[in-house]
Amino acid sequence: MSRSSAPAVDVVVVGAGLSGLAAARSLTARGHAVRVLEAGAQVGGRTRNHLLAGVNVDLGGTFVGPGQDRILALAHETGCDYHRTHTTGQSAISWRGTLRRYDGTVPTLGALELADIGRLQLIVGRIVAGMRAGAPWETKNAAELDSHTLTSWLRSRRALASTHALFAIVAKTTWGCEPDEISMLYALDYIRGCGGLDRMLDTEGGAQQEHFPGGAHSIAVRMAEELGERVTVGSPVRRIEWRDGGAVVHTDTESLDCRAVVVAVPPAVRGSIAFEPALPEEHRSLGQRWPQGVLTKIYAAYERPFWRDRGLNGQVLSDAGPIFATFDTSPAPDGPGILLGFIGGDYAREFDRLPEHERRLRALSSLASMFGDDALQATAFVDQRWAAESWIGGGPTAVVPPGVLTRYGRTLAEPVGPIHWAGTETSTEWAGYMDGAVRAGERASHECLAALRAVVA
């Protein structure tokens, strides 16, 4: 291995998503020389901006809410303002062919159906309350919970079909998967990291409470601007030669000698980098077992947020698809009106394969079934298929199958020699969210600081 006596930089960060940038920012603030190498054409990772009908829309991470302290602090520090998500008016649920409106957070379903959902929510809440952050394998009955998918667990609890259907909507939005793909223990630990099911799903008081008029992506852009020439885009890291105390990071055009590396890409993407020597067995096995979900987001723009006139707040849940959850992210009541729609799991797998004009048609028809035929008259439309992004591997986050968390959870963020792991998936709080990305980046930076101090001492 080529090794100069003075490394080019202290730390190389692989990936310029929120997590990698937060790590680089923290290290730079403490006086360390850092380079950030991004494979894709732009910074921001799973945050991305698009100008739709003159309005900034977030094609990736969008919302923030209470408890997400690190992303909120970073938003303040980088001068990115956020405001309340629009909730005035009634929500609606399209359920077995009927569209019903409701107030508050509980959809209008039959009494039996609601009772069963409440029963299962209670059980979930009780298990989650007994979980310890960073140690889901210590949960009571952890092995049994990890042997179940969400589907097989609901079946073992004799959940009604309606409860299965509602949890399917939750799985599609939250993880971009169907309930038969995900470990029950992983789902529970994820809910724990959000502070519970309500906080995860709610708009007011929950993870969808606020969003950024200038785009959440601007947080990444501001950090990258601060870092300046330290950040290089369009520069995939192909190979990392590592030893105790240092590494050489190879792109197609550079070989960077450094003392530590922060790999800030999703676990499923780690395998696209050739590590020399190879990573330990459990790290490579983990990389095969931590897939990303399949989530697609669409935005449709209208002259005005016409649904507001009809008393609707723009939030609709649907069991019909392809769009199964919507939000109103219009900047102002007098226009333009912006609807955000989520397409995930099997709906996204089907939708993503369609040509562009059919995707638009399908998405607008889906909105029309919720908001009436006016929804067909979009002035502009955009979609973002996260599973089609080769350097990202899917979104919004990882969908861990049964039997993996209990065996490989301890390995996920465990450093290997000079290599440290970031990315929202490695956070113990708000994993999968922008907040988790920042937390993980800052944690990795602290690990590097300790390692760099140890070398000096």
| Choice from 58, 113, 116, 181 touching its own copies (CB under 8 A) | 181
Do residues 230 and 8 lie in contact, with contact meaning Cβ atoms separated by under 8 Å? Answer: no
Among 19, 49, 151, 315, binds its own copies (CB under 8 A): 151
Choose between 212 and 290: whose C-beta lies nearer to its own copies: 290
Which residue lies nearer to its own copies by CB, 282 or 303?
282
Q: Residue 274 interacts with its own copies (CB under 8 A)?
A: yes
The residues, ordered by sequence, that sit 6+ positions from 287 with a Cβ below 8 Å of its Cβ are 267, 268, 270, 271, 279
Residues 6+ apart with CB under 8 A from 118: none
Task: Report the alpha-carbon distance of residue 262 to residue 19 in Å, rounded.
Answer: 10
Question: In this complex, which beta carbon is closest to its own copies, that of residue 328 or of residue 352?
Answer: 352
- Min. distance of Cβ 423 from its own copies in angstroms? 14
Tell me if 415 contacts its own copies by CB under 8 A.
Answer: no
Residue with tokens 């690190």: 70
Residue number, 122 or 274, with CB nearest to its own copies: 274
Q: Per CB under 8 A, does 447 bind its own copies? A: no
107 interacts with its own copies by CB under 8 A: no
Check binding of 387 to its own copies (CB under 8 A).
Answer: yes
CA distance 45 to 39: 10
| Residue among 155, 158, 243, 310 that touches its own copies (CB under 8 A) | 155
Q: How far apart are CA 341 and CA 356, in angstroms?
A: 16
By CB under 8 A, residue 284 contacts its own copies = yes
Is 424 near its own copies (CB under 8 A)?
A: no
* Residues contacting its own copies: total by CB under 8 A: 49
Segment near its own copies (CB under 8 A); pick from 106-114, 291-299, 366-374, 412-420: 291-299
Question: Which position among 352, 383, 429, 447 is part of the footprint of its own copies (CB under 8 A)?
Answer: 352
For residue 124, what are its two tokens?
Answer: 């979930």
- State how far the Cα of 308 lies from the Cα of 421, in Å rounded to an integer: 45
Q: Which stretch binds its own copies (CB under 8 A): 19-27, 52-60, 141-149, 363-371?
A: 141-149
Report if residue 384 touches its own copies, rule: CB under 8 A: no
Contacts 24+ apart (CB under 8 A), 135-144: 136/185, 136/186, 136/188, 136/189, 136/192, 136/405, 136/406, 136/409, 137/405, 137/406, 137/409, 137/410, 139/185, 139/188, 139/189, 142/185, 142/406, 143/406
Rule CB under 8 A: is residue 41 a binding residue for its own copies?
no
177 part of the interface to its own copies, by CB under 8 A:
yes
Nearest distance from C-beta of residue 285 to its own copies, angstroms:
6
* Residue from 29, 112, 133, 143 in contact with its own copies (CB under 8 A): 143
Q: By C-beta, is 52 or 168 nearer to its own copies?
A: 168
Who's near 357: CB < 8 A, 6+ residues apart? none
**Is 410 one of the binding residues for its own copies (CB under 8 A)?**
no
| Minimum separation from the CB atom of position 149 to its own copies (A) | 5
If one asks whether residue 238 binds its own copies (CB under 8 A), the answer comes out as yes
Tell whether residue 249 is a contact of its own copies (CB under 8 A): no
Instruction: Determine which residue in the list 180, 226, 303, 374 makes contact with its own copies, applying CB under 8 A.
Output: 180
- Interface ranges with its own copies (CB under 8 A): 143, 146-149, 151-153, 155-156, 177-182, 236, 238, 268, 271-272, 274, 278-279, 281-282, 284-285, 288-292, 294, 346, 349, 352-353, 385, 387-388, 390, 393-394, 401-404, 407
